[in-house]
Amino acid sequence: MITVLFFAGLEEQIGQQRLALPFAGKAIFQLKAHIEEVYELENDTLQGMMVAVNEEFATNDTVLVEQDTVAFIPPVSGG
Amino acid sequence: MYELTKEPIQVQAAIDQVLDRNCGAITTFIGTVRELTHGKKTIRLEYHAYESMAIKMLHKIGKEVEERWPGTTIAITHRLGVLDISDIAIVIAVSSPHRKAAYEGNEYAIERIKELVPIWKKEHWEDGTEWVGDQLEQQAYPKGGPTL
C-alpha cells in the first residue's frame, strides 16, 4: 500500500486528508487518473499538479513502491 | 533555524539566531497579514502546511542562500493557524559580514519560499473564503513546476 496526502483546497474537495491505496508498481499519472475518477474531480484537476513522493518533488512518471507517501501539492501560498 | 509555529512570531528570536561576531549586517524580512488586496477586504487568514516537507524545503532554501552568498547565516520562522490583520506570517533573518549579501540572500529566500514550500493560505474575505494559489496573480508555476 501507499499513503496519499491531500492539503488545502484539494483536501476539502476530496473530503479527507489521507488515503491508503494499493498503487505500488504504478506511476503517479495513473494514481492521478484514478483519484480524478473516483472523486469525480474535473478533468485535469490533478494532472498538472505538483506531487511529492516521500517529501521530495516528483514527476508524473515516477513509479511508486510499497510504503511510499505521495502528497499532492496545490500551488503554494506561504510567506 | 527553520521553524513552523502556531504561536505569535518573535522577530528578535530570529535575529538572535543569526547574530555573530563576524557579521556586520542583518536584514529581516517580516511578512504581515494585509487587510486590502486590490480593494478586497480580508477578515483573517489561515495557514496550513505539509509540515515535515515544509521544514525540509526551508532547509534546502537556507542551504541555497548560504552557498550563493558565502558567509551568510539564515533563520526562517513561518506562522501556521489562524492569523488576524497585521499579524506576522513569516520572518526571515539573514546575517553576513557585509550588507549586500544580507539584502540579496533575504530577497532570494522569500521568493523561493513562495515557489517551493508546501504552505497554503486560506483567505477569509468579508464575502467568503478562498485557498490562494497565486498571490501575485501570476501563473503559480510558469515553467510547469517549481525550479528544483
Model confidence at B143: pLDDT above 50: no
Please count the structural domains in chain B: 1
Residue B91: how many other CB atoms lie within 10 Å:
23
* Mean per-residue pLDDT of chain B: 92
Model confidence at A75: pLDDT above 80: yes
Measured distance CA(B75)–CA(B26) in Å, rounded = 11
Tens-digit pLDDT profile for residues A30-65: 999 999 999 999 877 898 899 999 999 999 999 999
Tens-digit pLDDT profile for residues B75-125: 999 999 999 999 999 999 999 999 999 999 999 999 999 999 999 999 999
Q: Is residue B95 part of a domain?
A: yes
pLDDT at A47: 85
- Whether chain A has a CB inside 8 Å of the CB on B120: the answer is yes
At residue B139 the predicted structure's pLDDT band, cuts being 50, 70 and 90, is: very low
Mean pLDDT for B123-137 is 78
User: Which grid cell is B130?
Assistant: 478562498
- Whether chain A has a CB inside 8 Å of the CB on B51: the answer is no
Residue B45 domain boundaries: 17-132
pLDDT at A3: 98
pLDDT at B86: 97
Q: Is residue B145 part of a domain?
A: no
| Percent of all residues in chain B with a pLDDT value above 70, rounded to a whole number | 91
Measured distance CA(A55)–CA(B60) in Å, rounded = 12
Measured distance CA(A34)–CA(B28) in Å, rounded = 45
The CATH number of residue B38's host domain is: 3.90.1170.40
B44 neighbors B122 (Cβ within 8 angstroms): no
At residue B140 the predicted structure's pLDDT band, cuts being 50, 70 and 90, is: very low
Write the residue in A48, A55, A75 that is nearest to B134 by C-beta: A75
Q: Is residue B139 part of a domain?
A: no
Fold of A2-73: Ubiquitin-like (UB roll) (3.10.20)
Task: Look at A77 and B134 and tell me if their CB atoms are within 8 Å.
Answer: yes
Task: Look at B117 and A78 and tell me if their CB atoms are within 8 Å.
Answer: yes
User: Which grid cell is B85?
Assistant: 490583520
Q: Is residue B144 part of a domain?
A: no
Q: Is residue B12 part of a domain?
A: no
Question: A–B: how many Cβ contacts below 8 A?
Answer: 79
Domain definitions of chain A by residue range = 2-73
Q: Which residues of B touch A50 (CB under 8 A)?
A: 141, 145-146
